[in-house]
Amino acid sequence: MDLKYNLLLGCSVLLLLTGCAPEMGSEPSSSSEQPSSSSIASEPLEEKTLLIGKNGLQKEYEYTGIADPQEVIEAIASLTGWNLELAAQPEAENNQVKIAFAQGASIFTGPPEHQKEEFHVFDAQDLVFTILDSVSSSLMEICGYDGVYFIADDGGDLAFENGGFSFVFPAGNLYEGSENGEQYLIF
């Protein structure tokens, strides 16, 4: 009985050890390997760029965070002083992302009372398009999305008034940028 027990115990230990060892002929992984798409959101990035401003006029700012939409948006808010609070976690699907701002966000409330000179905007329309262009461009640059939807907190069309301007961003349409801004304004 002791021989069978020792043999079984020895085989078990041997199986455990060989199961943890790398496969024969396999190379140890190196840091130069590309991360899988599932792990990219948790690994630090190098040389990524926040794009702040309206399309065509954007300035570049270094970003050293991870490729997570909420963290990118928080970095933009921290840099600019804009309130970019989200109503819900960003929803990514088919390499596109849906963003819903909370009611206290600057796109609804207007420019901050004390603006940072570098990010100064002149009115609510300028602020809305500067924020949406900045968020959209930065998410596509850093997270690699093909497009961004801006939606209401209930998932429907993002429709609101701010500073005498009325905006409607259809939930089913990708944001096309401030250069196409007239399509989002109601006169």
pLDDT in tens, the chain (187 residues): 554 444 334 444 333 333 333 333 334 333 333 333 333 454 555 679 999 999 989 999 999 889 999 999 999 999 999 999 999 999 999 999 999 999 999 999 988 888 999 999 988 899 999 999 999 999 999 999 999 999 999 999 999 988 888 999 999 999 999 998 888 887 6
| φ/ψ of residue 93, rounded to 5 | -160, 135
Name the residue with tokens 């401030």.
Answer: 178
pTM for the complete prediction?
A: 0.75
The confidence score (pLDDT) of residue 19 equals: 38
Residue type, 152: A
The confidence score (pLDDT) of residue 17 equals: 35
Distance CA 58, CA 62 (A): 13
Instruction: Pinpoint the alpha helices (H) of 124-179.
Output: 124-143
Query: Are the C-beta atoms of 78 and 70 separated by less than 8 Å?
Result: no
* Tokens found for residue 21: 């060892």
**Residue 78 CA to its chain's centroid (Å):** 14
The confidence score (pLDDT) of residue 43 equals: 54
The confidence score (pLDDT) of residue 113 equals: 84
Distance CA 77, CA 73 (A): 6
- 82 burial type by CB count under 10 A (0-12 exposed, 13-18 middle, 19+ buried): buried
Name the residue with tokens 């701010």.
Answer: 162
| φ/ψ of residue 49, rounded to 5 | -130, 130
Query: Are the C-beta atoms of 165 and 128 separated by less than 8 Å?
Result: yes
Query: Are the C-beta atoms of 31 and 46 separated by less than 8 Å?
Result: no
The confidence score (pLDDT) of residue 145 equals: 97
